Structure 1
Amino acid sequence: MEMLSRLLRTMCATQDVFYHPKCVKLGLTHLIFADDLMVFTRGDLPSVQKVAEILKSLNANFEKSEAYFGGVNSVLKQHILNAIGLKKESFHFRYLGLPIHPSRLTSTMYDPIVQKIQHLVRSCAVKFLSYASKIEVLNSMVFGLENFWCGRLLLPHNVCIIITKLCKQLFWGYQEGQRKLVFKSWASICSPWSEGGFQIKNLAIWN
């Protein structure tokens, strides 16, 4: 990975290879996390070919690699794919659990976080938890998921409403077709201890 980083930096500094338009100011050529690698370059044949040469020189596995395009016409796209021998994939895809898309994300792309919290609510529903235990679950496990997403993406308003509803179901308990009587409003529950609340994170405000 260190050799790859040096080769890509040298390539951009000394040759007629251009950064991806959104990466020029940062001087960004690639991102690495564990065994995942994302390389960014301008969508022209010389730039992509040079990047492919560097990857091949380091024995990158092209059978496990894909190419993603944005703003490249279909003819040039096919020329590039033929030249480098990669298969084309389409957006969106997930990287480190988060959706990646060149345009604005739709609400359905946030389904993974909603489904994880739904699973957590259902698993806790069969356990006899005190309110103190539920507060711990909400502030650690649920908020951990929310914090991971909110630190990188702005959650749509309707997604915040769905997640807040799931948090309420976890706290108050939930049975299909039955309305649960509550002794305190959710806004009060999310207020600090000093104000009589339980200091649960308010997702809408945090987001």
Structure 2
Amino acid sequence: MFFLDTEDRSCSSLMEILHQYKTSSNQLINTSKSSISFSPKILQVIRERVKSHLGIAQEGGVSKYLGLPEHFGRRKKDLFTSIVDQIKLKAAGWASSQLSSAGKLAMLKAVLTAKPSFAMSCFQLPVSLCSRIQSALTRFWWDASPDKKKMCWVAWDKITAPKALGDLGVRDIQAFNTTLLAKQVWRIVSKPECLLSRVLRGKYCSKKPFLQVDAPKAASHGWRSILVGRYLLITNLSKAIGDGEITRVWKDPWLSMELPSRPVGPMQEIHQDLFVADLLCRGTREWNIPMIQSILPQHVPEILRIKPSITGAEDSYVWLTSSSGVYSAKSGYYVATAMEIIDSTANQNYYKATWRCKTSPKLHLFLWKIAQGALALGENLAKRGLVSNVTCRHCGELETAEHIFLHCHFTRQI
């Protein structure tokens, strides 16, 4: 994909580039398979001139590039509908219908929830589309076949909770979408010289830094999606002090490696544009304690715990929830879903009994269904209002999990 304006000089430069490529590689560009996409305000006369100059007669913009639409309109959910269709087609395959519960769970995690990953790493999917994807995944998990719907025994938020909390750990689509978008944001802040960062900051961040810029009224869907990921990243983003040259004292989080923290309190006008490097002694790269005590007296202990770089390394961003300081989709997902591992002894024993016992994955899921009340036992059916057959067929007592697996005389004989 080449981007250029409509001047003859630009068109001639592109033609020269393509000619050099042909000469070097002995490969010819096929103009009949190429297309041009114009801005909506380009006049028809100019369009015809450009197409004639480049020798390309076909106008594009309605096809897909790497599986994503070239242009975005207002109804974005229609543009991503193919993702839902791909998931349903994969789930309805003959091989999928023959899977056990353990096989379904593996396919759900490794294949079906991974289908929209590429699109989600670039754009925010509409909420309605995420709901449709979730519905397709739910039906695949509970239904025996696409033609016969079955009862959903466990809510989706329990299925997406982590295994450490006793659940299945399937990804939540909306949260994972935000997590992948935050990865693009991390790339922009950690590698400011890369092409993506320079283009986006040059277009949208001329007046404010990237982490503080507001969303303009006329912004692409891609930029708005990146800002969604930015909201997640800045919740746990801080700066590691090297030489202090690019870290602003009052606007950047730099005081702590545990929480994003910046100085607060009264600020004199002459100090509002102060950088951390101004708080260091020139030459020795040690803290200027008298200056810190005069400007930031309430933060002296916090600042003195920070060790600036002896070698003069640049300041760098740090993702606080990762031990390496580098953002990862895994750590971002747990922040996006606000999951906390419960440390009580009783729960730890339950997790080990369910998922860590030495047995087959099929029995792991069977134990999970018993614990979650997800089997069609009489007690569970009665809770759903289905009271036609709630007793044990062997002894006539109420069919509960404890009765049918432990106390029934038929079970004891087995």
Shared fold per TM-score greater than 0.5: yes
Q: What is the alpha-carbon distance in structure 2 between the residues aligned to residue 156 and residue 53 of structure 1?
A: 42
What is the CA–CA distance in structure 1 between the aligned matches of 2:19 and 2:47, rounded to whole Å?
20
- 1:183 — aligned with what? 153
Matching residue's letter, 2:12:
Q
RMSD: 2.2
Q: Could you tell me which residue of structure 2 aligns to residue 51 of structure 1?
A: 14
- Equivalent of residue 114 in structure 1, options 74, 84, 105: 84
The corresponding residue for 1:17 is none
Which of 117, 134, 139 pairs up with 2:109? Answer: 139
Q: Which AA in structure 1 matches 2:174?
A: A
Q: Is the 8 A contact 1:92 1:101 kept in 2?
A: yes
1:61 to 30, 47, 50: 30
Partners of 1:92 and 1:44 in 2: CA distance:
24
Partner of 1:25: none
Matches of residues 50-199 of structure 1 in structure 2 within 5 Å? 50-59=13-22, 60-70=29-39, 71-101=41-71, 106-123=76-93, 127-173=97-143, 179-199=149-169
Q: Give secondary structure in 2 for the equivalent of 1:139.
A: helix
Consecutive unaligned residues of structure 2, counting only runs of 5 or more, are: 23-28, 178-414
TM-score, with length taken from structure 1: 0.73
**Large movers: runs of 4+ above 4 Å:** 102-105, 174-179
> In the alignment, which residue of structure 2 is the partner of 1:34?
none
Give the match's secondary structure for 1:155.
coil
User: Quick check: which has more Rg, 1 or 2?
Assistant: 2
Query: Is the Cα–Cα contact under 8 Å of residues 124 and 170 in structure 1 kept in the other structure?
Result: no
Deviation at 1:148, TM superposition (A): 1.6
Q: Which protein is richer in strand relative to its size?
A: 1
Query: For residues 129 and 177 of structure 1, what CA distance do their matches in structure 2 show?
Result: 16
Q: Per-residue CA shift, 1:38-62, capped at 9, x if unaligned? A: 1111232321222123213433232
Q: 1:124 to 1:205 in 2, by over 3 A?
A: farther
Q: AA paired with 1:78?
A: E
What SS does the corresponding residue of 1:101 show, helix, strand or coil?
A: coil
Identical columns (%): 24
TM-score, normalised on structure 2?
A: 0.38
Equivalent residues, number: 170
Distance 1:157 1:77 in 2: 37
Distance 1:97 1:56 in 2: 29
